[in-house]
Each structure stands twice: as C-alpha cells, then as structure tokens.
A and B are shown apart, each in its own frame.
Chain A
C-alpha cells in the first residue's frame, strides 16, 4: 500500500496526513514546504500553473490511495491525477477507512441534505475536509522536485484579501439580500466588530451584487464554515447557502419573513429588520 498526501495549504496538509496515517502503508507526501508527517516528502518548486504538471509527476509515484486537501487548486490537482490514473474519486470526505482492496469514504451530498457512504475501488483519489486530528511525526526524508513546464501561462495574479479568515472565525456575521443595500453592510460590520467576528455573505451579495468581495462568499461554491455562532442577516436560506453553514454550532437568523427556509435551519430566529437588529445588538453589547 502506497498512500500519497498533498495540499498547497499547511493546515489541510496536516488534516490530510492525519487521515492518511490511519490507513497504514508507506506514506508519501507532496507539499511546498518541509513537513514531518510522512515517510518521504517531495518538495516541488510550485511555479505558475502547477496543478496539472504536479499531477503528471504524482502519477509516476503510482499511489494506491491519494488524499489531498480541499482548496480549489488541491482539487484541480487531485482530480487531474485521478483522470491520469483512471482511478475512482470522492471529494470533501469526512471519514475514511480501508477495507479489503477498497476504500470506504463518507461525504456530504445533495447540498448538505444527505451523507453518502461510498466504496471506492483502488487506486482511489479523495480530497478531505479540514479536521482537528493531529498527525504523528514521521521520518520526513526530503526530496526536491523540478516540475515540467505548464501549458497554462499565468499573466497576472491578484492575491486574495485575507483580512479576517472565515475559516478560523469563532463568530461570523453574514449578510444577504435582506440587508437592502451595499451601504447597509456597515451595520453588519459594526456588529461583527463588537463580537470580534468576521463578516461573510450569501452568493447573491458577493457574486452578483458585489456588496462584499467574492472571497467572503459562504456556501456550496464558497467557504464552508464552522463557527461557534453564525448570525444570518436577511438571508433566505437557499440549500447552497445552508450547505456552507451546517457545521456551525449555533445559528441565529434575522429575517422579516418567519416562513423563510433559514428558520428551519436556525436555532434562533429573530423576526424583524436586520439593520434594526444590528443597531440594537451593538448598543446592547457596547454597554
């Protein structure tokens, strides 16, 4: 058994390593900086457009199982590699175990409505969700790797604005159409400030109306979050949005319509105007 772990992101690399270690066998890793969670670590020089060239390299390692992180680049790498190996695949896996010549994986399906158990033939390529498991320290013999040129040429890159990480925020104040206007988002920001939380948004306000940058999007296509407290302001609660917040510990919704789908998925729903709610909360919490 040869298991390969890869992620561009250090935390994802740890999560993926921890899940891969449980499978047993020889553990290989690919990660841009040194890490001691695997037996042999390949350290590539990640030049522009590296995802497919790295998959080319990884296919030469002939892994039985590949476990990667879940960033968009991780997935691009993982499933290009899967295509090259003609392997089975599963994405955003939460549990993983090895059976007799197959891999058993659990993952969320139907926009968060269901959990599927899959039996994957080997070789198998999976991406995992972030978890809190700590991997053991291994030998970590380091080998440098030179990647072939990519046929994708990167002309420019604008780094993501990583002001507050939604990933790590304990409290998230999130806005939807019901906030009314881009100017009104400041009330949510005021509330986030007194709560020491981060501000996110639904797809309509980030992708379509531009009230917030796209990297603030929470949902199926954006960030999946798991804060202690999630406050949904004027968000109706489409399944694509719920898919991103299901792991939150407590969900509070503020909505004028008490029949909005979000109330089904909230612990507490305050029926009323989201801006008024923000103002009263800020006044009350600043005391």
Chain B
C-alpha cells in the first residue's frame, strides 16, 4: 500500500523580477509552496497507516529540492526529467511513472506558484480513473474510504472511495522543517530517475512581465500628519 505525493520544482516566486522588458525566471528554484503541504500530508498518512510514501516530481529535477522532499519523510522519489510539458503532458508523465505502484491516494497541491492553474489534480484523476477530491483541508483514511473536509466556498465533509486523487489547500497542515539528521539521512534514500516526453497541446507563445506601475510614495512622519497627507492624496485620486 502506498500514498503518492506529487510536487513541482519551480522558480522561487519571491525572486522573479522584470528585467529589461523581460521576466527573469532563471532564479533559484524551490518546491512550490503548497506542494510542501501535499508532501507533509503524505508523510502524516504514512505515519498513521504504515503505507509507503512516494514522491513524484516532473520537469525540473533539482537534486537539492528532491532531497528536501525526502528529508521531510518521503521514502523515495521518482524524478521525471522532461522537456516543457503542459498540464495534460504532466498528467501523462505521472500516470506513466506510477504504473504498477497502484497507490491508494495521490496527493497534489491545489495549485502551484508558477502556472497556478488548479487543472492538474482533476485532469490526473480522469487519466488514472481515480475518484477526485479537490480542495481538501483535512483527510482521514478509513479503510477503503477517505473522509475529507473540503473548502469550496462552503465547507463540505465528504466520504469518497479509494483510490483517489486528492488536492490539498495550504490550510491542511504546517509542513515540517527537517532536522539536520533527517537531511543527512535523505541522501541514502532511493531516487529513481526516469525520462518522459510528449508533444504538448499548449504552446507557450510568450511571457511578458505584468507590471502595474505603483506610485511607491513613502509617508514617514508622525501618525497624525501622515494620515492627513494620505487623505489628501486619496482625495486627489478621487477616492474619498
């Protein structure tokens, strides 16, 4: 029995800047923010059920990030290197990589910080033919079923049969910070390297910086005066 956690290694969004009319995305990479919640949840499920927790990453296979995922408690990682893949291609790559593993649960984040589509989890569920549960903020495994609280405007408590693809929101947990020892031990854990390629259905024509020119006026004076000045600016904007 196993639980799989998908994670994506992306450019650190706090470092991306517009440079000379282009977007500089060739910056340090990291595990996409909410993907860490998916990894954490896989490790918690492993701790409760005794299942094996396997990570899968597709695209960028930065070794440091893969080791970070392992040090958080995954037992092994399948690292799929590929040229540019869109959502359908990524879903196919994951389906191919987990063939034969028959995981009970495949966890993903609700969205990534690079493309932020929220399309991958539903797409993958249909490719795998698994039950879909999206936007989970708590998961309890109960035999062949899961009980999940999902946040979709309303809060729903649902029961769904396994196997399932479950996407998690950032609220579900606080990802752990691995200890030095866990980081050391992670280097001994297996990483399976595979390759995948598929012609994408989507062509990325261009990415332009999205620049909203803000005035960036700094008001630094005693609060009474600062508020007075701000109010006059806001009147000038026609807001108050």
Contact = CB atoms under 8 A, between A and B. Distances in A.
Contacts of B153: 71-73, 160, 215
A229 B239 contact: yes
Nearest to A170: B239
Interface in A181-212: 203, 207-208
Contacts of B155: 157-158, 160
Contacts of A114: 16, 23, 25, 207-210
B102 interface: no
Contacts of B62: none
Nearest to B208: A115
Interface stretch (A13-21, A130-138, A275-283): A275-283
Contact of B217 (A79, A154, A240, A268): A268
Given A90-B202, A221-B34, A84 B126 contact: yes
Given A72-B134, A114-B207, A88 B86 contact: yes
Nearest to B23: A114
B122 A112 contact: no
The secondary structure that dominates the A interface is mixed
Contacts of A117: 204-208
- Chief secondary structure at chain B's binding surface: mixed
Interface residues of B, number: 81
Interface in B166-206: 169-171, 174, 201-206
A121 interface: yes
B210 A80 contact: no
Interface stretch (B38-46, B50-58, B222-230): B222-230
B127 A83 contact: yes
A73 B91 CA distance: 20
B218 A89 contact: no
Contacts of A108: 116, 210
Interface in B112-145: 113-127, 131-135
18 contacts: A72-B153, A78-B119, A83-B91, A83-B122, A87-B201, A117-B207, A152-B158, A158-B156, A207-B171, A220-B113, A221-B169, A239-B16, A240-B13, A270-B219, A270-B230, A272-B226, A276-B223, A280-B227
